[in-house]
Structure 1
Amino acid sequence: MAKDSTAHPTSGTPTNLPERLDLLYEEAGQPRFGLPPVLATAYGGDLGFTLPCVYANFVASIDGVVALGPEYPSSGSAISGREPADRFVMGLLRACADAVLIGAGTLRATPRHRWTPDHVCPQAAPAFGELRRSLRRATQPQLVVVTASGNVPTEHPALQSGALVATTADGARRLEGRLPEACTILTAAEASALRMADVLAALRSHGHTAVLTEGGPQLIGHLLGEGLLNELFLTTSPVLAGRAGTSRPGLIAGLELLPKQPAWMGLISARRRDSYLFLRYRLRLSDARVGLRSAVAI
């Protein structure tokens, strides 16, 4: 699922970053932000996005599992094995973002997480800060939680630190007086369900043009259904998860694509660290709008 760690930020000069990722392939002509040297060295090159952009980051087992089920909180860490290179890439992608978009289910499934770059890779915090300053980003990306119902764990530390909570008018009424003072309710719909297009339009009105989503599978399904996902970063972890009596979803839930409406993606880059693969895809323009999903009910 969306990746998780319980690391905490520290300060000082970046040390103990993972060894340089091996660049296996990269499509020519990609946009480049001009990463600070320490980040470019660890990543194995530069990174950038054509804005506006909505990009996702997930880790999956070899057999396609991204979440181990509701009885396993923070299962992304189990799937990744807390691989340092994976945590570095997760932090780097957050450091590039104006906002990190998650669903209420992801918030509930990771009770101690904070969706900041230095939470997952504290040793790179100074370089992440340098990158954000060069991009004229805020100190930390804005956390955005999507919930149609208003059912969120208001005691979650990420909410205590401040977040935008995108919800319906009904959800806003349920949340009134319950959220920490640092949070802001973003009422993106008057109906009982949310359209992700409305949520993203509201974020762009706040100046958020680089939006990273870390899931979960339902939210990715909604974004794809409305044709709003531009890119996907997928770490393939060298582990087999298996499936038996519990639900163990893949990357997308709540949306069927094959065989009638496949969403083909083009490979932009491939990197490797030991037996881990770090893949970057772009949704092909001809498949940019699937059109099977119109609203979110989370």
Structure 2
Amino acid sequence: MAEHTPTHPVGGTPPGFLEPLELLYEEAGQPRFRLPPALATAYGGDLGFTLPCVYANFVASIDGVVALGPEYPSSGSAISGRKSADRFVMGLLRACADAVLIGAGTLRATPRHRWTPDHVCPQAAPDFAELRRSLRRAAEPELVVVTASGDVPTEHPALQSGALVASTVDGARRLDGRLPAACTVLTAGEGSALRMADVLAALHAHGHTAVLTEGGPRLIGHLLGEGLLDELFLTTSPVLAGRTDTSRPGLIAGLALLPNRPAWTDLISARRQDSYLFLRYRLRTPHAHDGLQAAP
């Protein structure tokens, strides 16, 4: 049923790029976007999604830490060791997406970041652009920031460049007149409650059916709690982060699953480079957003 034999792409290493990922395992019959040759070589094969799809991407230490705490900005880079292969996969997943969905906490924790493919892997920018053209995507994925309270750092360069800010009625009222002109407020809830199903329905109405989320853990908890996450890409970095009294969250925060509500997954792809593992899982839970269609 599945392909277990490791395979290697032909064509060698793209000049100025990185060593190709080694394909260890891939479930047969995966959808394929026909990546440009340089991307397919670097990734160790092709990549694709069955749409609509909400997929997450995280890097974690061996002991399950995904963030070092609010006193350590951009801690994902520390966990990954700024591994070029991890940054490439991050860029590739962004290049496949209509929209990149983050929480306000992630925006605050990465004060200079831009959620575009070329920001994390500029060497592959021409190939990312070619992929987006072939998929009939916009030049860059739209950044979507979720904030129930309306508390966002309005000076952040990613907001200055333009973003969709999803909030409640109360949050939208607090944001009125504070956001850069390039931003649009999306009201997706009433009072203090914000349902991710409403956010995704609005994104689908904008034509965004390939949605990548880069967290953080509380946003993933909300998506899982509503049965809205389809796939998880997880880079396991060969580092031990440790914990003391400082909060160092794992992949999910604000949601208890075991023992009464396990969220089982199936491994559909495994790649490696050096001591890093690049894993792809499919959630077994029902797809609550399958019935959502883009507005005509």
2:254 and 2:150 map into 1 onto residues whose CA distance is 20
Q: Please list, as runs of the form range in 1=range in 2, the aligned pairs for 1:124-273 lying within 5 A after superposition.
A: 124-273=124-273
Tell me what 1:47 maps to.
47
Report which structure shows greater RCO (CA 8 Å, sep ≥6). Answer: 1
Which residues of structure 1 form unaligned runs of 5+? 1-13, 290-298
SS of the residue corresponding to residue 254 of structure 1 reads coil
| Cα-to-partner distance string for 1:13-62 (whole Å, 9 max, x where unaligned) | x7421111000000000000000000000000000000000000000000
Q: CA deviation at 1:245?
A: 1.4
Checking the alignment, whether the CA contact within 8 Å between 1:15 and 1:124 is kept in structure 2 is: no
**Alignment partner of 1:107: what SS?**
helix
CA–CA distance in 2 between the matches of 1:191 and 1:18? 48
- For structure 2, list consecutive stretches of 5 or more residues without a partner in the other structure: 1-13, 290-296
SS of residue in 1 equivalent to 2:191: coil
Secondary structure (helix, strand or coil) at the match of 2:188 reads strand
- 2:16 alignment partner AA: N
Asked if 1:38 corresponds to 2:29, the answer is no
TM-superposed deviation, 1:286? 6.0
Provide the TM-score with structure 2 as the length reference. Answer: 0.92
> Which secondary structure does the structure 1 equivalent of 2:20 belong to?
coil
Matched residues in 2 for 1:122 and 1:32: separation? 23
Q: What is the distance in 2 between the residues matched to 1:285 and 1:69?
A: 30
What amino acid maps onto 1:267 in structure 2?
L
1-structure distance, mates of 2:283, 2:190 = 30
Letter in 2 for 1:162: G
Aligned-partner residue type, residue 277 of structure 2: L
Percent of matched pairs sharing the same residue: 86
Contact 2:229 2:287 in 1 (8 A): no
The answer for the alignment partner of 2:293 in structure 1 is none
Matched residue of 1:108: which SS?
Answer: helix
User: How many residue pairs end up in the alignment?
Assistant: 276
Q: Please give the alpha-carbon distance, in whole angstroms, between the structure 2 residues aligned to 1:83 and 1:184.
A: 34
Aligned mates of 2:278, 2:176 — CA distance in 1: 41
TM-score by length of 1: 0.91
- Match runs of 1:110-121 below 5 Å: 110-121=110-121
Aligned to 2:8: none
* Cα distance in structure 2, aligned partners of 1:34 and 1:129: 14
Cα pair 2:218 2:252 within 8 Å, conserved:
yes
Give the letter aligned to residue 200 of structure 1: L
State the secondary structure of the residue aligned to 2:199. helix
- The residue type paired with residue 100 of structure 1 is V
**Offset of 1:193 from its aligned partner?**
1.4
Q: Is the 8 A contact 2:25 2:269 kept in 1?
A: yes
Report the CA distance between 1:180 and its aligned residue.
0.4
Once the 2 structures are TM-superposed, how far is the Cα of residue 190 of structure 1 from its aligned partner?
A: 2.2
Kindly report which structure 2 residues correspond to 1:65-104, keeping only aligned pairs within 5 A, or say none.
65-104=65-104
State the Cα distance separating 1:191 from its structure 2 match: 2.2
How many Å separate the matches in 2 of 1:287 and 1:50?
12
Q: Contact conserved, 2:98 with 2:211, CA < 8 A, in 1?
A: yes
Residues 60 and 66, structure 1, Cα contact 8 Å, conserved in 2: yes
Which amino acid is 1:36 matched to? P
Instruction: Specify the SS of the correspondent of 1:55.
Output: strand
CA contact (8 A) 2:227 2:286 kept: no
